[in-house]
Structure 1
């Protein structure tokens, strides 16, 4: 790291309504993240939004995709040693579940459908008919 930034961890405390904390916890659970990881990721993503999409230089918790992959990998590797294939399988299972859930939600909202004619998923109304 070019700058000598203190990367040690420290607690941050805030107060929110109970319903909001419950929503955040549910969302963190859906993403298979701890509440701390979820909040850290959301704050970093929000800060990028305020900075016009630029990232804070040297930010150790930056997650450019906002998908928690870095956090997930560090969690896995903190417990054991994994081969490339084992890591790929561990993170792929998560994305497969998320893809399945998201496609189900989009289909339930009638925004996406499976088109046999096109051999895959398509946006509703975008089939040339």
Structure 2
């Protein structure tokens, strides 16, 4: 993140069916997250399938354009028919394990840590008194 990046918080509104909001809230509760934190995390995780990897902008791997989600959806639909909910479940099933692996990796590199005092994960040295 550059020094000129605006990190102030802004409101984003969306409208979803009541059953979906209830599902999101239940999942957020299971993860010990606020609903805002849950939605923000899921959106960021979902964007990984739509954008090239920001850490490797010149990636020449098997998916240099970041079209992993597109490829995954086409693979799923080539063998069966899925509803929206079934597709969503199929493409997001591994998000919890990916997040866990990412957090473990960042902790191993001493970039983040879990702080009970600060209510969750935090970057190393970003809080007063650290």
Q: What TM-score, normalized by structure 2, do the two folds share?
A: 0.47
Structure having the higher Rg: 1
